[in-house]
Structure 1
């Protein structure tokens, strides 16, 4: 009934008997039943006028918690509920209760993972006078749990800037927690001014100690004094460079093995970036899609990067709008950084 938020059943009603026993029960709908079961007069009148001759009520109980009740009714002229009907209703209610509780638990875990992920991802990135950054994080659909994509921009002494993007295999709370651990560790290690390959070696040891079996990471240090970028990768998709003349270069010289695998050394490579060059860092959600080859996705990203150079924020929005599948099935990170030389 409209306006009624809580339905109360008086002591001694069929509902009380059912909940105390935890089993489905059936009852004949007569004046005594209505008087013992329905407190609100308008609801009692509605039940009397409905033509119900008997009802079958079953508890929705899962993991010791009452989720609700299921009520079945038969009108006058139809046979009364049999013991087999009562047994079947109890079985159906039990399975429905498990499904409801699973959905509740899934939603709760999903909310925890989303909250954890949002807390661990940066809200504002550190930038310097020689690096402009536009960043985007697009979570996957609710069908898939949150992933372990992460990114950061870290300021170092002498005006140098670190750009880092990573991706932890898996989804849910464990992936979000692993992502947070790697991001925080990376930030701490970066301030020790390690070489990119040395930092990834330390991060790999951290991943193995934490039981993180597979994660990728791309780590770039840009020095505006000489325009050079030092790069190391742990199995992450290669960064792209949009040069001022409109050409796009894929920096795939150093790929490396993912974090958590161990056994293979990382390497640092160095390139010189022209003034006003744009670095593009991303996760595989941007170039991988069902029915599309990853090389085709990478080529599409290269084309979009070179299509309409302009303000970074506009470029980031345009790239995501044209490349992301609908619906989005995986988390996606995109970081665009325009670099300048120091005077």
Structure 2
């Protein structure tokens, strides 16, 4: 029997309000939902988009693409690609670009995907299960130092070395870790102290997921591509869920929201700013109360300048 997993979209209205601001009652132009997920934002965009508008969605998760095929609106199209491929769109062709960087509840809640320590399942964590190696496959051969660096850099885990040593020791003694429960129990037995209310494995699972999907590298590539594909006056809206992502987005907007001078040619005309920062928005208290998974979300909005 097929199991149904529900998803509540975080910050549903705020980014769409920003994308459509000043565009009238029936916005035209091309909009992009760079991370379709389960389609909450895409459906909300289509509900407000004018008849001459078009929405392009990206997602590398085959299950998300299957969900997208249920949308029969002629203004909508889906690409089975990660948002690192945004640069394939025509230059200055996009009026609004939304990136929701969180993984969807169906991904987390489906034990077969291996994203959560709350359910026993294969240790996979790939967003695109049709390619690449799983976390279990990587941990089966990675060296202690490699594992420690990943857990430290992507999970900001202070016990990264101890966890890495435990994973390798377990591999040598009883074979590699292959399920979510095995990894969670191993980490719990290694990390003796943890923030109140947080599972000891939280940071490790986050780190391995980010690494195996190259999430931060893909985010940087997508942000760089946004400068090319956004039309002058086009809006960029990015929702992040942890400090590593938000830091990249914040620094990207800051870097491109000022004129750039060439120190080797101090009298040359500076390169003009490319983005105008507009807002930083957090979920309301009511949203957090109704959907605790929204509590860490941060929405940043910027506008492509005329230059």
> Same-fold call, TM > 0.5?
no
TM-score by length of 1: 0.24
> Counting strand residues as a fraction of each chain, which structure ranks higher?
1
Instruction: Determine which structure has more spread, i.e. the larger CA radius of gyration.
Output: 1
TM-score by length of 2: 0.26
> Counting helix residues as a fraction of each chain, which structure ranks higher?
2
Q: Which has the higher contact order (CA 8 A, sep 6+)?
A: 2
